[in-house]
Amino acid sequence: MTPDELRRHGHAVVDWVADYLARVGEMPVRSTVAPGEVRAALPPHPPAHPEPFDDVMADVESIILPGITHWQSPDFFAYFPANSSGPSILGELLSAGLGVQGMMWATSPACTELETHVLDWMVELLGLPERFRSTGAGGGVIEDSASSATLCAVLAARHRAGGAERLTDLVGYASAEAHSSVQKAFTVAGLRDDQLRIVDVDDTMAMRPDHLRSLVAEDLVAGRRPFFVCTTVGTTSTMAIDPVRAVAEAVADSGIWVHVDAAMAGAAGVVPELRWVNDGLELVDSWCFDPHKWLFTNFDCDCLFVADRAALVGALSILPEYLRNAASDAGEVIDYRDWQVPLGRRFRALKLWFVIRHYGAEGLRHHVARHVELARGLADRLSSDPRFELAAPVDLNLVCFRGIKGDEATERIMAAVNDSGRALLSHTRVAGRFVIRASVGQTTTEAGNVDALWALLDAVADGKAIAPRRLEAPRTISGASS
Amino acid sequence: MTPDELRRHGHAVVDWVADYLARVGEMPVRSTVAPGEVRAALPPHPPAHPEPFDDVMADVESIILPGITHWQSPDFFAYFPANSSGPSILGELLSAGLGVQGMMWATSPACTELETHVLDWMVELLGLPERFRSTGAGGGVIEDSASSATLCAVLAARHRAGGAERLTDLVGYASAEAHSSVQKAFTVAGLRDDQLRIVDVDDTMAMRPDHLRSLVAEDLVAGRRPFFVCTTVGTTSTMAIDPVRAVAEAVADSGIWVHVDAAMAGAAGVVPELRWVNDGLELVDSWCFDPHKWLFTNFDCDCLFVADRAALVGALSILPEYLRNAASDAGEVIDYRDWQVPLGRRFRALKLWFVIRHYGAEGLRHHVARHVELARGLADRLSSDPRFELAAPVDLNLVCFRGIKGDEATERIMAAVNDSGRALLSHTRVAGRFVIRASVGQTTTEAGNVDALWALLDAVADGKAIAPRRLEAPRTISGASS
């Protein structure tokens, strides 16, 4: 494809994306395709010859689009907001266009330096402790996801505790409310299931520091080596907030690496009134949050900060001859390949830079504060309605609730909303009971969307039928198109 | 940013990218900024208020561009080709615009089904064994990189061998020419350095199956548990080809997981005459290659195929309540979150689908065959010139060579080429000696670029001064711009 063809087709794709974002609010949020339906519409064999670009885009519309669950819909309240925004999309486009490898400073200096710079900006934007700045012993790095950030934290902690040689003695801690990626990180790192100890939670589903302290004491007596604790600020299930300060104080001087998974809630720090989410961070070893969850940046963009980058680099650095270069040898630059598991990396800082400059601190604050206000408004409606009850405190942007008639009725409420295509919710279980989650944080979600969700809940709770939202054009999945 | 603003700014970014690709061949290939220079040009604090998008793009031109080493230059011969192409860039743009999470089938069915489908196409395009198709017990998945693919293979092998419970007994194998990611994967997986045994290589730097067999026998006698061997088809250093068939036969019936890292060379399979790169694959457990290296798809896009997906899923599956859904529970769909380390994933299949349809099998074959022809032409010139000698066989697209006057002279030749900005080379060491690598495979590299590289080598070998290529406009890094 020549540059001029790229220009022409690129304008068409930009127009398609702009149109998509303009009309996504009219589409059924959840895809209704059955398993295998998308594949059945694709040709069984790859094309022998080049195909016109316009044909490909026609298939995007007719085959791919019906198979999309619209995470960018303003009526998407399921799972977590997969944030995106115009500047982020264009930052990703620019990154693809430049096509640089950022594995080392030497392979494209701007890729490394913009990342370091923007992550130092982030310390200021979120009100994080100074120890996370690159100008001291710490620093930040963009990982693909909080899963990977947690894995890196586990690996750094394992390294500090003696590495593979000490592996069988190590024991780490998290509550049962911690994200599944903690268990997965332990498994990946070669730890047995019994090496992750589950700390009790209190009524708000937050970790109990006193129980952690007693587990650690027990493990020390048994000759095990406590090495890592994962606290969560904003659990996936209910947005519970572990008491980071108390946890860090409970294990102070033990050498235990304290990691904080603030994947969603960390973004709240852009609002000064919500900076209680940062309480205790000056005592921890690592902290991460996902701009791709609640800061208008498309996946993948997780920011991991460490207080001591030497432990992280020590755990992950391997330098083969074919990557040696003067700048790295002189130790005067950052090579982010040593801050992550894979070697290669895209220029992801561009999209984050674009987002920060497009919104400014003011714009980020405005949108995050608005989401919290909308969530609290929904919580007020639910808690004051006798048909519903809240299942967890609503401190930020997640509303957990259930119908008062029990699990099956609550499941039916969620199913009715989701089947309507007019909104999408997801679920969890709290103390064994089925709970609906409404996560308010999609970039374009406005008061009207939350009002409409409430109207839906109001109707389905009374068993009223809801006219489903339909695709504007007839679905055209109908066999191979090319 | 409204859809209409996205349209307007998006056209501007597409135009910038198209212009960039039109002029990148005129730019010095390697960035000449000093450490810290890019950061010094950026404002120390994040913006308090929104900034115009045009200002951001102006800074891309004046601050970012001078800090870019141009992997997309047709004169880029360093490291490996970081392939890209118009359709790939636009697939990435579309993926960012749709902004879906592909962690499970249920979270966007098209994202999963297109990936499965395109990877089945890839089996056909490359002439891979049928066991890698999703229609049997195996299947393919897109990972971010070959590093991650290797890690997944190690984890699947470790799972099959008993998991963390057996960890301290396990022992794996690779040659010293294997990519550094093998060592890194072992470290991540909790294995000690002495649990990765180094297999000898022959004169072509290929693994010796007889030595592997004797190491395995030795380990069995010592009570260790051989569990994994990584062979490489196309090593990073010199594109050496391990004898996969002989290796697989050497460990047949041992239960050892045989992985093949064909990160670069795997793409050669699009050319029927080069399908010798697939020899023995019907005997192995896993195989990966990088479309982002040599198949015109921008990073990140590694295709990992396994013969038995149950081992991979068994190693990586964790299902928390908040991700449970009917389709997954019924076992009738693929959930790719269980085929990779992170939970979240982008819609990466789009760019690969765009590339395959834009080029067709015919176009892919044409470009890959052309690169091999160009590399062999360069090798012929070098081997017939008394000032140079080849340092490794040139079977595909990598030319390893040195000057006959020794390491220092060879280093000077490379430095002179790189300092000119007219081409970029990288290096390795073979049997302790400094060797220049010329990797021919950038999407737009034509005969003229290889001719120019040869002219440069011809001149610098005789000590002639080369007028350096300069940025077309004066560099404008000159302090904070906003």
**Location of structure tokens 């409310």:** A177
Task: Compute the distance between CA of residue B17 and CA of residue B89 in angstroms, rounded to an integer.
Answer: 10
Residues of B in contact with A98 (CB under 8 A): 17, 20, 68, 72
Phi, psi dihedrals of residue A295, rounded to the nearest 5°: -140, 35
What chain A holds in terms of domains, given with CATH numbers, is 1-39+53-84+361-482 (3.90.1150.170), 101-347 (3.40.640.10)
B97·A85 Cβ contact <8 A:
no
A90·B165 Cβ contact <8 A:
no
- Bridge-based pairing of strands B388-390 and B302-306 is unpaired
Name the closest residue on chain B to residue A32, using Cα atoms: B109
Name the closest residue on chain B to residue A158, using Cα atoms: B190
DSSP secondary structure code for residue A128 in this structure: -
Q: How far is the alpha carbon of B215 from chain A, nearest alpha carbon, in Å?
A: 22
B68·A98 Cβ contact <8 A:
yes
Q: What is the pLDDT of residue B472?
A: 66
Supply the DSSP string of A56-122, one letter for each residue. HHHHIIIIIGGG---TTSTTB-SSS-----HHHHHHHHHHHHH----SSGGG-HHHHHHHHHHHHHH
Choose the closest CB to B180 out of A236, A320, A327: A320
Cα-based torsion angle of the residue sequence A451, A456, A462, A466 in order, rounded to the nearest 10 degrees: 150
Q: How far is the alpha carbon of A112 from chain B, nearest alpha carbon, in Å?
A: 9
Residues of A in contact with B155 (CB under 8 A): 188
Q: What is the pLDDT of residue B476?
A: 47
Task: Compute the distance between CA of residue A234 and CA of residue A372 in angstroms, rounded to an integer.
Answer: 13
Task: Compute the distance between CA of residue B161 and CA of residue B228 in angstroms, rounded to an integer.
Answer: 9
Choose the closest CB to A90 out of B9, B181, B482: B9
Q: What is the pLDDT of residue B332?
A: 86
SS3 content of chain A, % helix, strand, coil (to 5): 50, 15, 40
CA dihedral sign of residues A367, A372, A375, A381 = negative
Mutate to test the interface with B, among A30, A105, A144, A182 (most CBs of B within 10 A): A144
Nearest Cα neighbor of A433 from A403, A458, A463 is A403
Sheet of B286-289, strand order: B139-143, B302-306, B286-289, B257-261, B225-232, B170-175, B196-199
A11·B14 Cβ contact <8 A:
yes
B51·A357 Cβ contact <8 A:
yes
Cβ(B179)–Cβ(B232) under 8 Å?
Answer: yes
Q: How far is the alpha carbon of B260 from chain A, nearest alpha carbon, in Å?
A: 17
Supply the DSSP string of A249-292, one letter for each residue. HHTTTTT-EEEEE-TTGGGGGGSGGGGGGGTTGGG-SEEEE-HH
Cβ contacts below 8 Å, chain A against chain B, sum to: 469
How crowded is residue B276: how many other Cβ atoms within 10 Å of its Cβ?
A: 11
Cβ(A288)–Cβ(A150) under 8 Å?
Answer: yes
Low-confidence ranges of chain B (pLDDT < 70): 472-482
Cα-based torsion angle of the residue sequence B204, B209, B210, B215 in order, rounded to the nearest 10 degrees: 120
Nearest Cα neighbor of A192 from B186, B163, B184 is B163
Q: How far is the alpha carbon of A161 from chain B, nearest alpha carbon, in Å?
A: 13
B344·A147 Cβ contact <8 A:
yes
Question: Buried (b) or exposed (e) across A68-107, using 16+ Cβ within 10 A?
Answer: bbbbbbbbbbbbbbbbbbbbbbbbbbbbbbbbbbbbbbbb
How crowded is residue A373: how many other Cβ atoms within 10 Å of its Cβ?
A: 14
Choose the closest CB to A148 out of B82, B320, B342: B342
**Location of structure tokens 């700045």:** A133
Question: Buried (b) or exposed (e) across B252-261, using 16+ Cβ within 10 A?
Answer: eeeebbbbbb
pLDDT in tens, chain A (482 residues): 999 999 999 999 999 999 999 999 999 999 999 999 999 999 999 999 999 999 999 999 999 999 999 999 999 999 999 889 999 999 999 999 999 999 999 999 999 999 999 999 999 999 999 999 999 999 999 999 999 999 999 999 999 999 888 999 999 999 999 999 999 999 999 999 999 999 999 999 999 999 999 999 999 999 999 999 999 999 999 999 999 999 999 999 899 999 999 999 999 999 999 999 999 999 999 999 999 999 999 999 999 999 999 999 999 998 777 778 888 777 789 999 999 999 999 999 999 999 999 999 999 999 999 999 999 999 999 999 999 999 999 999 999 999 999 999 999 999 999 999 999 999 999 999 999 999 999 999 999 999 999 999 999 999 999 999 987 654 444 443 33
A67·B319 Cβ contact <8 A:
no
Q: What is the CA radius of gyration of chain B?
A: 24
Name the closest residue on chain A to residue B344, using Cα atoms: A145
Q: How far is the alpha carbon of B360 from chain A, nearest alpha carbon, in Å?
A: 4
pTM: 0.96
Q: How far is the alpha carbon of B358 from chain A, nearest alpha carbon, in Å?
A: 5
Task: Compute the distance between CA of residue B259 and CA of residue B172 in angstroms, rounded to an integer.
Answer: 11
The gap between the terminal CA atoms of chain B, to the nearest Å, is 20
Task: Compute the distance between CA of residue A145 and CA of residue B349 in angstroms, rounded to an integer.
Answer: 19
Choose the closest CB to A1 out of B71, B86, B361: B86
